[in-house]
């Protein structure tokens, strides 16, 4: 029962953006602890990334990502068109240096941010809106 | 509807025979759980594939709302 237009749009976003985060809320106002922590990691990595708030279409987006990536929980980080994982995996890879390598950046000196609000990153793209 | 930690552990053990599984309640409300799983089936799998196996074991409980959030840590056994 996946919405084919939504699926096309999601696939397009994954292709278009080198680093893409599906999250609950926005980087400035995350609406879940896991999303907030994932944003924190990306901000520490210092990369540009695009963020999509899944809350306006949560169940339809779960169905779409289940089909595309066999994964239904959020946040989801995609890099170079592939699902990297959710918060747990992103944090583990950040600590091990694998995420910096994947993103093509220097490993930051201080990784594994404690769960607390991060200031907005002026470099990132504005939140994506899906018109359905 | 909350879920018992034992039930989650049993679901994962059933899906991954031979696994060492620990499930704890992160918030005291029995719906934010953390599962630490060491399983032979993880050998050679990427982290995401390891996590997929664990998530699949408890998918029905996500779908019916018993589990609100599940943190997963995996390693091959």
CB-CB under 8 Å, A70 with B52: yes
CB-CB under 8 Å, B62 with A85: no
Q: How high is the pLDDT of residue B28? A: 82
Q: How high is the pLDDT of residue B62? A: 86
What is the average pLDDT score of chain B?
91
**Alpha helices per DSSP H over chain A:** 4-16, 33-45, 58-69, 87-96, 98-103
B9 token code pair: 């552990």
Q: How close A44 comes to chain B (CA, Å)?
A: 21
Rounded CA gap, B66 and B49, in Å?
23
Pairing verdict, β A76-79 and A50-53: unpaired
Rounded CA gap, A76 and B31, in Å?
20
CB-CB under 8 Å, B52 with A87: no
* Domain chopping of chain A, boundaries: 4-102
Taking a C-beta distance cutoff of 8 angstroms, is the pair A27, A51 a contact?
Answer: yes
CATH number of A4-102: 3.40.30.10
Rounded CA gap, B10 and B25, in Å?
15
In the predicted structure, residue A71 carries a pLDDT above the cut 60: yes
Across A123-128, average pLDDT? 68
Taking a C-beta distance cutoff of 8 angstroms, is the pair B24, B34 a contact?
Answer: yes
Q: How high is the pLDDT of residue A109? A: 85
CB-CB under 8 Å, A84 with B48: yes
Question: Residue B64's domain spans which residues?
Answer: 5-76
Contact of A49 with chain B, judged by CB distance below 8 Å, is answered with no
Contact of A88 with chain B, judged by CB distance below 8 Å, is answered with yes
Taking a C-beta distance cutoff of 8 angstroms, is the pair B50, B42 a contact?
Answer: yes
Give the residue from A86, A91, A95, A99 with the most B CB atoms within 10 Å of its CB, the best one to mutate: A86
CB-CB under 8 Å, A92 with B48: no
CB-CB under 8 Å, B71 with A87: yes
Q: How many domains is chain B partitioned into structurally? A: 1
CB-CB under 8 Å, A86 with B73: no
Q: How high is the pLDDT of residue A59? A: 94
Q: How high is the pLDDT of residue A115? A: 45
Q: How confident is the model at residue B26 (pLDDT cuts 50, 70, 90)?
A: confident
Q: How close B72 comes to chain A (CA, Å)?
A: 7
CATH of the domain at B20: 3.30.300.90
Which residues of chain A does B51 touch, with a Cβ-Cβ cutoff of 8 Å?
A: 85-86, 88-89
Across B41-61, average pLDDT? 95
In the predicted structure, residue A114 carries a pLDDT above the cut 50: no
Q: How confident is the model at residue A120 (pLDDT cuts 50, 70, 90)?
A: low
């Amino acid at each position: 029962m996946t919405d084919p237009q939504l699926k096309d749009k999601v696939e397009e976003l994954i292709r278009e953006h080198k680093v893409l985060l599906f999250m609950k809320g926005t980087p400035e106002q995350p609406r879940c602890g896991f999303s907030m922590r994932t944003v924190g990691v990306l901000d520490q990595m210092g990369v540009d990334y695009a963020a999509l708030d899944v809350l306006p279409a949560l169940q339809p987006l779960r169905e779409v990502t289940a089909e595309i990536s066999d994964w239904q929980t959020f946040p989801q980080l995609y890099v170079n068109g592939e699902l990297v994982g959710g918060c747990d995996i992103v944090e583990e890879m950040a600590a091990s240096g694998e995420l910096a390598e994947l993103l093509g950046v220097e490993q930051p000196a201080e990784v594994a941010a404690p769960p607390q609000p991060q200031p907005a990153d002026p470099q990132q793209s504005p939140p994506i809106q899906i018109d359905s | 509807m909350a879920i018992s930690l034992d039930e989650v552990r049993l679901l994962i053990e059933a899906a991954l025979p031979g696994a060492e599984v620990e499930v704890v309640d992160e918030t005291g409300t029995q719906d934010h759980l953390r599962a630490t799983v060491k399983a032979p089936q993880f050998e050679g799998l990427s982290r995401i594939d390891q996590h997929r196996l664990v998530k699949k074991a408890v998918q029905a409980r996500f779908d019916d709302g018993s589990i609100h959030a599940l943190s997963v840590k995996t390693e091959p056994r």
